[in-house]
Amino acid sequence: MAAGYAATLSLSRPGSAVSREAGAVCRNAAAVVEQRERSVALFGVKSVALSELEMLAAECKEADWDGYGAESLHPRALSLAKEIIRSLPDDLPMPTMSVEPDGCVSLDWLPTNGRVFTLSAGKTDRLPYAWLDGTDRGHAVARFIGGQLPPRIVREIRMICGDDASVWAA
Amino acid sequence: MNESSLQLAKAPIIEAVLDIDCDLPLSVDQELLEKSARDALRDRYPKLRKQSIQEHVWTHNGIDAPEMQMMERPGALQFLTEDERQLVQFRPNGFSFNRLAPYGSLDDYLPEIESAWRLFEELAQPVMIRKVGLRMINRMLLPLSDGKLVFSDFLQVAPSLPATGLKLGLVGFLEQHLAIDEESLNRVNIVKTSEAAASGSLPVILDIDAFHPCDIPPPEWPVLLARIESLRNLKNRVFQHTLTAQCLNLFSPVV
């Protein structure tokens, strides 16, 4: 469930309402979001992750950035990756990020050897993800809608990164 | 318990939105969808507005000048009535029906919502419903007295400032509460926010979005209707119990 700043983030995005008043609610919420993003305590870790993403984007903006014919980073993938970072619950660690040869952004959580959660931000709002926990593994696709990471993905990242991963895998 | 007995002659509602968020098949033919929908809705909704979503992405490596890239992708197909006070939206992730003021009662629009939803279902073939939502945006002009307002006269849960001992006056606010009804599992997002005061009154927006997240194939209309009625009841109760009797009197309750 969206709560706190996550709910405000969702409110700050244009939705299906069209009235001027809906726009006023959106703008006021955006001002709260902007205030939050200026805070080091509230947003510092995410701010660093977003800067890292910017550096990656600059490195991979031209095709063949890897010398093996890779596609240039797709702008939609970059903006989606940024939205995912912004929407991560505060108790989750930041992922390691890389650009894939198909121009998508890979967000990876690797808490220990043998435990991996990987998510791909691509050209649409569909997010392919996969996980590995010891000998157990799985993969699926979920949609990123309304600026919120699907609860199923959040739950699985938490499982992989948390102490209760073994319970989940049993 | 239903609590829809309150009727207001001058209801402050600015916009009502019925949203049904869905997953559509990956293979939707946008051009065919647009043409078929336009043909079917032309009589009632002669205007078509095609929304597109633009994204601007700035990248900066810390050395060179920042670079901007712009992307555009299709958004909603908005079918509007001649006076543009009512619209049906076929969105990439669902269906919406919007009614702008003047607004009667949801009962007035339910047949139209059903008809438009059935058309959307036939043409877009949604595979899964993710959320049903009923949102009402109200704009209330609260009268100022000598340029001041006692919020608790109008709002049951009024915004307030800490007692600092200083002459602090509230000049703006945004409050958001997200709640769940433990019986129906409906949720409601309640937002109160102010706009700039003008002409002896303070505009306050009360935005109530009652919704139900779900993961179900599209059900028959009576099932959807029952959910909409349940959301309506929640929305009405929140509205009625957010405002004081003095505030409700501004909107001429029908006895």
pLDDT, tens digit (0-9, with 9 covering 90-100), for A2-18: 556 777 888 888 888 99
Region A91-118: mean pLDDT is 94
Residue B255 falls inside a structural domain: no
Per the document, the length of chain A is: 170
The answer to whether the CB atoms of A25 and B60 lie below 8 A apart is no
Confidence of residue A54 (pLDDT cuts 50, 70, 90): confident
CA distance A140 to chain B (A): 15
pLDDT at res. B222:
97
Residues of chain B with pLDDT under 70: 1-5, 54-62, 255
Q: Which of A21, A47, A83, A126 is the best substitution to test chain B (most B C-beta atoms within 10 A)?
A: A21
Residue type, B105: S
Please tell me the distance from the alpha carbon of residue A125 to that of residue A76, in angstroms, as a whole number: 9
Q: Is A145's CB within 8 Å of B174's CB? A: no
**Residue B175 in domain:** yes
Mean pLDDT of A30-52: 83
User: For chain A, what are the domain ranges?
Assistant: 1-38, 44-169
State in Å, rounded, how far the first CA of chain B is from the last one. Answer: 21
- Whether the predicted pLDDT of A30 surpasses 80: yes
Structural domain span for residue B150:
13-249
Q: How far apart are CA B94 and CA B120, in angstroms?
A: 9
How many contacts does A have with B, using Cβ atoms within 8 A?
A: 97
Higher pLDDT, B239 or A36: B239
The closest of B233, B234, B132 to B190, measured between CA atoms, is: B234
Task: Give the lowest-confidence range in A36-50, A91-105, B28-42, B207-221.
Answer: A36-50
Give the total number of structural domains in chain B: 1
* Interface check B100 vs A, CB under 8 A: yes
**What contacts 24+ positions apart, CB below 8 Å, involve B176-185?**
B176/A7, B176/A8, B176/A11, B176/A29, B178/A1, B178/A2, B178/A3, B178/A7, B180/A1, B181/B234, B184/B212, B184/B230, B184/B234, B185/B212
pLDDT at site A168: 40
Q: How far is A106 from chain B (nearest CA, A)?
A: 17
With the C-alpha atoms ordered A6, B228, B236, B145, is the resulting torsion angle positive or negative?
positive
CA-based diameter of chain B, in Å?
Answer: 69
Residue A64 has pLDDT above 60, yes or no: yes
Q: Model-level pTM greater than 0.90?
A: no
Query: If you ran DSSP here, which 8-state letter would residue B122 be given?
Result: H
Task: Please check whether residue B4 lies inside any domain of the structure.
Answer: no
The answer to whether B75 touches B52, Cβ cutoff 8 Å, is yes
In a domain, B88, yes or no: yes
A133-164 pLDDT per residue, tens: 999 999 999 988 877 888 899 999 999 998 54
Distance CA B180, CA B186 (A): 6
Can you tell me whether residue A42 is helix, strand or coil? helix
Average pLDDT value for chain A: 86
Contacts of B55 in chain A (CB under 8 A): 75-76, 79
Give a yes or no: residue B3 inside a domain: no
Residue A170: the pLDDT is 35
Q: How confident is the model at residue A1 (pLDDT cuts 50, 70, 90)?
A: very low
Quote the pLDDT of residue B29. 87
